[in-house]
Structures are given as C-alpha cells and as structure tokens.
C-alpha cells in the first residue's frame, strides 16, 4: 500500500519504490542501520530478508545502488535523499557485483559519504541495503551515423571517444561545440548518465561490447562538479568502472551525450507500507 511522503516507520513504512526504475528498496531501521557484513554474508542477508510480505529481496547491482546517489549533496552527506532513505550511514554499502576478472576476490561498493563507486576485498565488512523487483531493461542501438541510442534512458551517445584528452573546462566546451549527425545540442554527460554505460560483466573496457571498440580503458570526464573542493569534478574510469573525483586541470577522455537528462530518481520515489 502507498503512504504519504510524511509517513514514518511508526505508520508501517518499510520500503521505498523508485517509480522510474521499478525497483523497491529496503528502508533501514534503528535496529539494523549499523549492521556490517562480508560480501557473501551481505548476499545472504538480502536473499533471506522477509519484508513487506515479500521474500524475493536481493543485493543490488553496482549500477542499481549507485542510482541512489545525489551528487549535488556535499560531504559528509549522506549523499542521497534522506526523506526516502532515512538512517543511512555515511559509509560503504555492498553491491552484488563482483569485479570482473578478480576470481571472486573483489566486489563493488558505493560510498554514501562522498558518492564514490569503488571496489574492495570480499572479506571486508560493509553495510548493505536490499532491493527487489525487476529493473527497467534497455539496450544500446547503433544508429549507423556515429551515434548510439540507449533505449532505457532515452539518451543518444557519441559513438566514438573524442579525439583528444581535455581538461574539465575544455571537455565542457568540446561537447557544447560538437556538431554530429545533424545535431548541435550535445553536452558533457553528468555522472549518473556516464556511469549508466558501465557494464559489470565487462572489463578493460567495462562497457557494452557495442561501444567497446570506441572506448579507451581510461578516465572520462562528467559535467558533475564535486560538491566539496571547487577544483574537482567527477570522472568515470572505463578500465574497471570506478567513479571518483579528479582535479579539473587534469586531461581526461570525453564522450558527448544529447537529449533528456538523467538525474537521481528521488522526486519519483514512493513510500510503501509493510
């Protein structure tokens, strides 16, 4: 059952639904908000969770969990909308995604103090938030004109990596000045958009095989400035899929995007009753 946005756990609120992705998220409680697990134990916790009369909970993938990050919130955060996700620690949360090629010894986590998406050994202890329901599925389509469309997000991507490396300011200018396939409204993607291209099953580069031949296994700029020091902005590394801040004077790779804009899904969240 749906609840008003002003609901509290006392009203039976225990889940939050993302109406964009279709995912339903566990809402942490005072009793479990600080619990920590190895990666394997985190999977077990989620798989065994019985909440809201559902028993199909699981640990989220890297892209699913990172979709909750609001990169406009400054450290110490937490860097997500606490109206829908109260009792979130400014800490690392496990995902179900193992690092490709790591022989199951490393897995991905999302840090909700900064928004970093990074990896660590599976025996480390981190927090976890369960998710359920099938996410919206999409596919990349080669338009045959130097562009690729994402049917899930509605975004159109420059197929080729830009020919040079650029500082952050130069990257913004390159994309805004790009004329490609009859379009002139290109821009530098924000961090949520660029991160959406990361493919957990791929490595070096960690991207869909359609874009792999045109992608460098290196850092790419996003348009998202870091909410802390003004001399930093967010970048995505397509060698493995890391998401970290970088100094804006550094020269990185660039891929332009156009149409729409992916942000955090918070305005479309809905509180659900236990």
Least-confidence region, from 11-15, 81-85, 134-138: 134-138
pLDDT of res. 53:
85
Per-residue model confidence as pLDDT tens digits over 50-104: 998 899 999 999 999 999 999 999 888 999 999 999 999 999 999 999 998 767 7
Q: Where are the domains of the chain?
A: 2-135+264-273, 140-258
Superfamily (CATH) of domain 140-258: Mannose-Binding Protein A, subunit A (3.10.100.10)
pLDDT of res. 229:
80
2-135+264-273 and 140-258 share one fold: yes
pLDDT of res. 267:
43
pLDDT of res. 30:
94
DSSP collapsed to 3 states, the chain: CEECCCCCHHHCEEEEEECCCCCEEECCCCCCCCCCECHHHHHHHHHHCCECCECCCECCCHHHHHCCCCCCCCCCCCCCCCCCCCCCCCCEEEEEEECCCCCCCEEEEEECCCCCEEEEECCCCEECCCEECCCCCCCEEECCCCEEEECCCCCEEECCCCCCCECHHHHHHHHHCCCECCECCCECCCHHHHHCCECCCCCCCCECCCCHHHCCCCEEEEEEECCCCCCEEEEEECCCCCEEEEECCCCEECCCEECCCCCCCHHHEEEEEC
pTM: 0.85
Mean pLDDT of the chain: 90
CATH architecture of the domain with residue range 2-135+264-273: Roll (3.10)
Q: Which residues contact 172 (CB under 8 A, 6 or more apart)?
A: 187, 188, 223
pLDDT of res. 51:
92
Q: Which residues contact 240 (CB under 8 A, 6 or more apart)?
A: 99, 100, 119, 203, 204, 206
């Amino acid at each position: 059952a749906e609840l008003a946005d002003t609901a509290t756990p006392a009203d039976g609120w225990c889940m939050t639904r993302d109406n964009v992705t279709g995912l339903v998220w566990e809402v942490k409680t005072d009793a479990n908000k600080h619990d920590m697990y190895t990666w394997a134990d985190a999977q077990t916790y989620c798989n065994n969770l019985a909440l809201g009369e559902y028993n199909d909970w699981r640990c989220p993938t890297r892209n699913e969990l990172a979709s909750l990050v609001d990169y406009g919130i400054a450290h110490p955060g937490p860097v997500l909308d606490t109206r829908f996700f109260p009792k979130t620690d400014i800490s690392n949360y496990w995902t179900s995604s193992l690092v490709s090629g790591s022989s199951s010894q490393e897995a991905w986590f999302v840090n909700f103090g900064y928004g970093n998406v990074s990896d660590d050994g599976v025996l480390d202890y981190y927090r976890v938030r369960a998710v359920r329901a099938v996410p919206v599925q999409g596919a990349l389509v080669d338009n045959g004109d130097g562009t690729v469309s994402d049917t899930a997000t509605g975004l159109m991507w420059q197929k080729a990596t830009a020919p040079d490396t650029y500082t952050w300011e130069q990257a913004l200018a390159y994309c805004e000045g790009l004329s490609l396939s009859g379009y002139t409204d290109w821009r530098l993607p924000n961090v949520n958009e660029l991160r959406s291209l990361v493919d957990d099953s791929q490595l070096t580069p960690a991207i869909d095989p359609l874009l792999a031949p045109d992608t460098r296994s290196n850092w790419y700029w996003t348009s998202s400035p870091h909410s802390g020091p003004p001399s930093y902005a967010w970048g995505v590394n397509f060698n493995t899929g890391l998401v970290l801040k970088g100094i804006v004077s550094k020269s990185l790779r660039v891929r332009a995007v156009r149409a729409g804009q992916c942000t955090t899904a918070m305005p479309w969240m809905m509180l659900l009753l236990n």
